[in-house]
Amino acid sequence: MSKIAEGLLYSESHEWVKVDGNVAIIGVSDFAQSEMGDITYVDMPDVDDEVTAGDDFGALESVKTSSELIAPVSGKVIARNDELENKPELINEDAYEAWIIKVEMSDTAELDALLNAAAYAKIAE
């Protein structure tokens, strides 16, 4: 059973969102990191890049696989977790601590399409 943090919103592609005013802090769920196995690299966008809900904004890489990161909301990247550059394993250690990007949302209504913890629990078995 993977861990699911309360108070966060989730996408069906296993990203989590923590809403902080107009900013969406985005990471991947515990289910995602355990499916990937040891993460060897996180391909992240740059600060000031635009992301679009539903499109990929990067990828997680392990030794034998890669998995696209799908943006749960649209907006501009205002911060990027540079610690992940040299220590991608932070996501394996604590998927909810290790945020990936922070996005200034262009349309907060997009949050309504995301799942709450209970609904996500049903798909992250």
Partner 1 sequence: MGAFSYFPQTEEDIRVMLERIGVSSLDDLYADVPADFIYKGEYDLPSAMSEQQVRDFFEGLAAKNTKLKVFVGQGAYDHYVPSVIPYITSRSEFLTAYTPYQCEISQGTLRYIFEWQSMICRLTGLDCANASMYDGPTAAAEAVRMCVASTKKRNSVIVSARLLPHVIKTIQTYAKYAGINVVVTDKVAEEVAEGVLDLAGVIVPSINRFGIIESHLGLADLVHQMGALLVEYCDPSALAVVKTPAEWGADIAVGDGQSLGIPLCYGGPYVGFMACTSALMRKLPGRIVGQTVDASGKRCFVLTLQAREQHIRREKATSNICSNESLMALWCTVYLSLMGPQGMRQLNELCYEGSHYLHDALLATGQFERVFDGEFLKEFCLKPLCDVQKLQQALLDAGYFAALQTEDGYVTFCVTEKHSREELDRIVEIVKSVK
Partner 2 sequence: MKYYDKLIFELSKPGRTGYSLGDSLVKPANDGIKKTTHGSSFADLIGESPIWRETALELPEVSEVDVVRHYTNLSQMNFGVDTGFYPLGSCTMKYNPKINEEIANLPAFTGLHPLQPFHTVKGALAVYAGMEKALAAITGMKHFTFMPCAGAHGELTGLMLMREYHMSRGDLARTKVIVPDSAHGTNPASAAVCGLEIVVVKSKEDGLVDVEALKPLLGPDIAGIMMTNPNTLGLFERDIKQIAELVHGCGGLLYYDGANMNPLLGVVRPGDMGFDIMHLNLHKTFSTPHGGGGPGSGPVGVADKVVPFLHIPHVSGFHGNFGIILRAYAYILMLGREHIKLAGKLASLGANYIKESLKDCFKLPIPTVCKHEFVFDGLLEDNGVSTLDVAKRLLDYGFHAPTIYFPLLFHQAIMIEPTETESLETLDAFIAVMRKIAEEAKADPELLHGAPHTTPIGRPDETAAARQPILKY
Give the residues lining the site for partner 1 (CB under 8 A).
40-41, 43, 46, 49, 59, 61-66, 68
Type of residue found at 85: E
> In the sheet where 15-20 sits, what is the strand order?
9-10, 15-20, 23-28, 101-105, 75-80, 50-51
**Which option in partner 1, partner 2, none does residue 43 bind, with CB closer than 5 to 8 A by kind?**
partner 1
Q: Give the x-and-dash track for 30-49 against partner 2 (CB under 8 A).
A: --------x-xx--------
Partner whose footprint covers residue 89, from partner 1, partner 2, none (CB < 5 to 8 Å by kind): partner 2
Q: Which two tokens stand for residue 19?
A: 């809403």
In one-letter notation, the amino acid at residue 44 is M
- Min dist CB 88 to partner 2, Å, is 7
The residue count for binding partner 2 (CB under 8 A) is 9
Show the beta-strand stretches assigned E in the chain.
9-10, 15-20, 23-28, 39-43, 50-51, 56-62, 66-70, 75-80, 101-105
Report d(CA 107, CA 53) in Å as an integer. Answer: 10
Q: For the window 54-93, what string marks contact with partner 2 as x by the rule CB under 8 A?
A: -------xxxx-----------------------xx----
Question: Residue 38: which of partner 1, partner 2, none does it interact with, CB under 5 to 8 A by kind?
Answer: partner 2
